[in-house]
Each structure stands twice: as structure tokens, then as C-alpha cells.
Amino acid sequence: MLINAQESTLLIIDIQERLFPVIEGNTALAEHSAWLMQIAQRAGVPVLLTEQYSKGLGATIATLRDGIGADSIVEKLHFSAARDGELFKRPGGERRQFVICGTETHICVLQTVLDLIGRGNQVFVVDEAVGSRRASDKALGLARMQQAGASIVSREMVAFEWMEQAGTDLFRSISREFIR
């Protein structure tokens, strides 16, 4: 199945100020997530951010939080962003496909993905835009999500599937500014 811009939401899970410094490859993860967020916004794909207990872990890092409205930020205490239903009340939460980035791969990302799959959603996890404190935990989390039915994808797979075709204004704009 293809990722469709009209049916998907970009969900960025818990890339927060106090957790961010200890995530392996954090700088690249933030850059890839911001890249996806900018393309999503150009393609008309809703973006939702989650924050795990922001009193303790801080807000989402500024590079991702800036330009996102308060109604697109979901505060949570459950590790799964899909557990209490608040996610589904937000703009984009009603869509059937979720493209996922965030931290930690083996905890909050994993539990969210498993709950979304359990609800019947199609889930796409962006390999280079998820992270954990340890590479082994990331690898195990990705393997388990894939076994459960999530598709593990690259950021370019997402971008080109959202664009669907060459020759459009969207394609020209994104390929000029984001595809290298």
C-alpha cells in the first residue's frame, strides 16, 4: 500500500528537550523529522506532536515545535500516544494512515504503533527519524513493529509517495528545496 497525502498524518512522538540529548544520533533524527514536517506541511498532511509528561521531560525541541499550533500538540502520560483517545480528537487524528517519527523507538514509538495497528490503522515508521538511547533497542523496536504489520520506510519514500507524480508545482517545489 502507498502512503497517501490525503489519508495520512505525520505523528512526531516525544522528541523532547530533556530526553533529546541522550538519544543516539539525535542531531540527524531531529533534522530528518524537521525535513518530513516541512514536506508534510507543503503537501497538506496534518502534523501532530506528542509530549510525554512535559513537566519532567520538557517540551518538544524548538526546531519541531515552532510553527505548530497548540491544538496539534498532545500531552500524554501513557507511553502509547493512541491509548487514551486524545490523539484521535486532534486535526489529522481521524486519518487512517500514520507516518511515525520520534523517540524512543522501543518504548513510546513501539507502543503507539502497536495500538494504532490494533485499531486498524496503516502505520509507516520512518527508520532514520526514530531513535533510542541504544542502537540495539532501536533495532529491536523496529523489528517488533515490522513483525506486527508496520511498514519501515525512509523519509524519501514518504515524500515521493505524498507527491505521487513529477511535473506538479508541489513536486518542483519539494525537489528543488529538499531532494539532494
Give the model confidence (pLDDT) of 132-144 as tens digits.
999 999 999 999 9
Q: What is the mean pLDDT of residues 125-130?
A: 98
**DSSP string covering 46-64:** -EEEEEESHHHH-SBPHHH
Average pLDDT in the chain: 95
Single-letter amino acid code for the residue at 57? L
- CA dist 91 and 22 (Å) reads 31
Q: What is the mean pLDDT of residues 13-27?
A: 96
State yes or no: pLDDT of 180 exceeds 80.
no
Starting at the earlier edge strand, list the strands of the sheet with 122-131: 73-76, 47-52, 8-13, 97-103, 122-131, 151-153
Give the model confidence (pLDDT) of 96-122 as tens digits.
999 999 999 999 999 999 999 999 999
8-177 has which fold? Rossmann fold (3.40.50)
Give the model confidence (pLDDT) of 22-34 as tens digits.
999 999 999 999 9
Count how many residues are written for the chain. 180
- CA dist 5 and 44 (Å) reads 7
More confident of the two residues 151 and 177: 151
Cα atoms found within 13 Å of the Cα of residue 69, Cβ hemisphere only: 8
- CA dist 104 and 133 (Å) reads 7
CB count in 10 Å sphere of residue 151? 16
pLDDT given for residue 112 in this prediction:
98
Give the model confidence (pLDDT) of 45-81 as tens digits.
999 999 999 899 999 999 999 989 999 999 999 999 9
State yes or no: pLDDT of 15 exceeds 90.
yes
- CA dist 50 and 66 (Å) reads 14
pLDDT given for residue 170 in this prediction:
87
Yes or no: say if 29 and 4 are a contact pair by the CB < 8 Å rule: no
pLDDT given for residue 179 in this prediction:
87
Give the residue among 39, 61, 38, 37 at the shortest CA–CA distance from 48. Answer: 37
3-class secondary structure, 130: strand
pLDDT given for residue 100 in this prediction:
98
pLDDT given for residue 67 in this prediction:
81
